[in-house]
Chains A and B, each alone.
Chain A
Amino acid sequence: MLKVNDINVFYGSIHAIKGVSFEVNKGEIVTLIGANGAGKSTILNTVSGLLKSKTGSITFIDKTISNIVPHKIVAAGLAQVPEGRRVFLGMTVEENLEMGAFTRKANEISEDMDSVYVRFPRLKERRKQIAGTLSGGEQQMLAMGRALMSKPELLMLDEPSMGLAPILVEQIFDIIKELNAAGTTILLVEQNAQMALSIADRGYVLETGKIVTSAKASDLLNNDAVKKAYLGG
């Protein structure tokens, strides 16, 4: 479904992503794991079109997306929940969800908004509230609900566990599994490798901008390279 082929991304003269290739098949949960600064978010932002790769190509459902603008990539069915949630703090919960459905017609979204509210009942209680007043866990739910409003084929999640209490992390990961079971393909970026690998089908290990290992998630859980990527030795 998503095929990333040999991308190289630079920040000025810094070579952040060095010839990365990977793919995500329909129905899978694939995780990109790696330490802080390994380039995980850079890869997602390149797939989303916010950053450009100097080389290679990215294709999504048989369509090259590496040279099109971000808003068209969203319209093609690829949504991202960015790192740090990045909900619109000055807008209400409901307005945030509306923004998630920006590429769709206003009269088609009320059903999907209801289903987001069924999945995240807390958001329904707070739907007229300004997002800046929500707790971290609620903001993460809002960020996920907002991304779902575009009806994505592939949902990319960037560090959904960041800054959340363990019980909330588990809840968020359960929701990711449910979304996957309901037919959404997932690309999950995580520092919390243990958690990510426990729900993923396959995983790629990223180290300073390069993929060093890839395997079935269950194999990676016991792999030395994975331990190395996290313990820094």
Chain B
Amino acid sequence: MSLVFSQLINGLQSGSIYALIAIGYSMVYGIILLLNFAHGDIIMVGAYVAWLVVVNLSLPPALAIALAIIACTLLGVVIEKVAYSPLRKAPRLSLLITAIGISFLLENLAQLKFGAGAKNVPALITGPALDIGGQHIGFTAVLTIIVSVVAMIGLTFLIRKTKMGKAMRAVSEDMGTAQLMGINVNSTISFTFAVGSALAGIGSVLYSCAYPQAAPTMGSMLGLKAFVAAVLGGIGSIPGAMIGGFAIGIAEAIVSAIGLSVWKDGVVFAILIIVLIFKPTGIMGKKINEKV
């Protein structure tokens, strides 16, 4: 019983990080139909920023957290402006290849600057283990889950109720008509990248609580799993990305719990294959009718 419980918490902890990252994939896909494969690497940059601030500059962890999130946000916006916005009218394949190129660029720049080895990120957040019904749960696990859920509620409010959020929905539904409403499409897209990347920044900080390391390629597996979560939930759907993230996290935990932890990654990609074969639109995704 206690094993099942602790694995469930583990699953929810990693699942909420996947969900935060998956939301960024889905938001960007929803608005410009791009699978932004550089999204995972933003997390890596966040982890290095935290490491730099705490270890190299010896500044307090709170500052590291803030700077990591700010750096991720700015990086996402800059990538969109520099790499994707010039391709607004280009075929989608060009955009996809560019995203993969940016991913390699970020990974290799990190390797060039910091070396291929992992850097240890000291604990950014610490606290006492919690005791719930006789079960011990790590502080960071609880914090991760709570912070993620709060971020998702905030995001839902932003998208449902604010003017900018409604503009994002309008642009993602019909970019041409959104322009006819007087919506500035470029700034709406920038805003979408900023929000998605800020969530990735939060994910980055939470991830480094669980795995306190920064390495050049750490973002690629994390990004891929979050991508699977986004596809499972229905790419383009934000509630879908949340559900998909938790589902992937829990699936991994179940596999580990039954003693097959070497299959942890394999299961995630098996889910991807199954979804793509049987329900490519995912759990919450809409069927897209191609215009003739």
Contacts and interface: CB of A to CB of B under 8 A. Distances in A.
- Most chain B C-beta atoms within 10 Å of own C-beta, residue among A80, A91, A99, A103: A99
Given A90-B173, A91-B173, A71 B179 contact: yes
Contacts of B166: 91, 95, 98-99
Chain B contact residues, majority secondary structure: helix
A102 B169 contact: no
A88 B173 contact: yes
Contacts of B169: 88, 90-91
Interface in B130-188: 163, 166-167, 169-170, 173-174, 176-185
Contact of A150 (B173, B178, B181): B181
Contacts, number: 64
A150 B181 CA distance: 8
A82 B180 contact: yes
B181 to A, nearest CB: 5
A70 B170 contact: no
A74 B177 contact: no
Nearest to A85: B177
Interface residues of B, number: 17
A150 B178 CA distance: 13
B138 to A, nearest CB: 40
A91 B180 CA distance: 16
Nearest to B166: A95
A100 B163 CA distance: 12
A41 B180 CA distance: 13
Contacts of B179: 48-50, 70-71, 74
B102 to A, nearest CB: 26
A209 to B, nearest CB: 21
14 contacts: A49-B179, A71-B182, A79-B180, A82-B180, A86-B177, A86-B180, A88-B169, A88-B174, A89-B173, A91-B173, A98-B166, A102-B167, A106-B163, A146-B181
Given A86-B180, A91-B169, A91-B173, 11 more contacts: A50-B176, A74-B181, A82-B177, A88-B174, A91-B166, A95-B166, A102-B163, A102-B167, A102-B181, A147-B180, A150-B182
* Nearest 8 Cβ contacts at the A-B interface: A74-B182, A103-B182, A70-B179, A86-B177, A102-B182, A71-B182, A99-B181, A71-B184
